Amino acid sequence: MESTELYQQILGITAPWFVESVEINHVATKVTVVLAHATGSGLFRCPTCDAQAPIYDHQDTRTWRHLDTCQFQTLLSARVPRVNCRACGVQTARVPWAAPHGRFTLLFECFALDVLLTAQVQSRAAELLRLTPDQVRYLMQRAVERGLQRRDVQRPLPHLMVDEKSLHTGHHYVSVLSDGAHGAVLEVEEHRTTEAATVLFEQGLSASQKETVKVVTLDMWPPFATAARTALPNADLVYDRFHLSEHLNAAVDKTRRQEHKRLSGAGDERLKQTRYLWLRAPETLSDKQREQLETLCRSELETVAVWRLKEEFRGFFECSNEEAATDFFQSWCERVKEVGNLHLSKVAAMFKEHWSGLIAYLRHHVSNGLAESVNGRIQQLKTKARGFRNCFGFRRAILFHLGQLDLYP
């Protein structure tokens, strides 16, 4: 079998195109398959209106990277005709093996996306595919743009999640908008300002989707709430219970450190190396740790009092209705006042200030737990890539891997 016939069959090239010749470069380990087309009328159609159109002229020879032939890098080469459409004017004809303006064949592009999704590291994928970093970024960007264009802008999004992720050290963050039902990242924007959060809602949601949003879970960062209230005035804001727990844990830890410093000055080391006893859920402690905690709880330490109130607050999320939750919170605040701990009092005051976002939990029973999972996967991407130079590349990687997009050509 002639090489031209072999490649004609394995490439699946059909009329009017055919394999004209096959050039093998053993030194460069490259195979170039030269494609040509038959002559005659009615062979090509206008890419805009699909009407038959005569050939006007030909472009210069173009080359597309294809799947390798054994160890040989394989290229397809052809002069693509331009057609003269009566309605649309001169247009470049479509070729069946590549997307318009593409540098790679459709098969190679699909394979490259598979490698990128599996490797998750752009430099490693570039090495495996024998591509440059710029070519890998080009493929990813095309895939993300394709996926965003194909998104169903009519799909309801009743629950949204807003979170932040550090890009660089020094409080350089990106804001992340996700679908609370499936965890798909909808949009990423540099910074965590009101303006950045507003861009999230404007670019990540269609006008019809905004009308379907019932609840947004977020932390107590004011710019997020401000932007959400403006963009989604009919949605309830629910402050994430895990972020509330972080504030309570911080109050316990600050109290423990201060009390340990005072006690250790008098030779009392009871609180030494006990940090995680107070911060972890009691049910996750080992038997030895639980015994140590129970011993400490029999003392009159201020840390114990603050820790008990922190643990008691978990009952807020178990209340059966808003009235019961309101009574619970008022009673809890009274006990905080009795203890008189500065750190816990600040947390209680913060909770009062953001009461509407707390009580809304009882209406929706949603959290940012899925967003925290997404955040962890973003951190994995960041760690594997050893960081990203800018937000543009960070956004591209997040949407590529976590946007649940239809990436393939």
| pLDDT the model gives residue 169 | 78
Sites in the chain below the pLDDT cut of 70: 1
Q: Is the residue at 326 inside a domain?
A: yes
Considering 97, 132, 165, which residue would you say is the last residue of a domain?
97
| pLDDT the model gives residue 201 | 97
For the chain, how far is it from start to end, CA to CA, in angstroms?
A: 32
Q: Is the residue at 388 inside a domain?
A: no
| pLDDT the model gives residue 367 | 86
| pLDDT the model gives residue 184 | 96
Q: Is the residue at 6 inside a domain?
A: yes
Considering 66, 97, 128, which residue would you say is the last residue of a domain?
97
Q: Is the residue at 191 inside a domain?
A: no
Q: Is the residue at 32 inside a domain?
A: yes
Q: Is the residue at 205 inside a domain?
A: no
Q: Is the residue at 251 inside a domain?
A: yes
State pLDDT tens for residues 271-289: 999 999 999 988 999 999 9
| pLDDT the model gives residue 387 | 84
Q: How many domains does the chain have?
A: 2
Backbone angles phi, psi at 319, to 5 degrees: -65, 145
- Dig out the tokens for 312 from the structure: 């008691």
The reply to whether the predicted model has a pTM over 0.75 is: yes
Considering 97, 129, 161, which residue would you say is the last residue of a domain?
97
| pLDDT the model gives residue 322 | 93
| pLDDT the model gives residue 1 | 64
**Half-sphere exposure of 23 toward its Cβ, with a 13 Å CA cutoff?**
10
Range of the domain at 297: 241-364
In whole angstroms, give the CA distance from residue 373 to residue 3.
52
Q: Is the residue at 49 inside a domain?
A: yes
State pLDDT tens for residues 31-62: 999 999 998 777 899 999 989 899 889 999 99
| pLDDT the model gives residue 41 | 72
| pLDDT the model gives residue 90 | 94
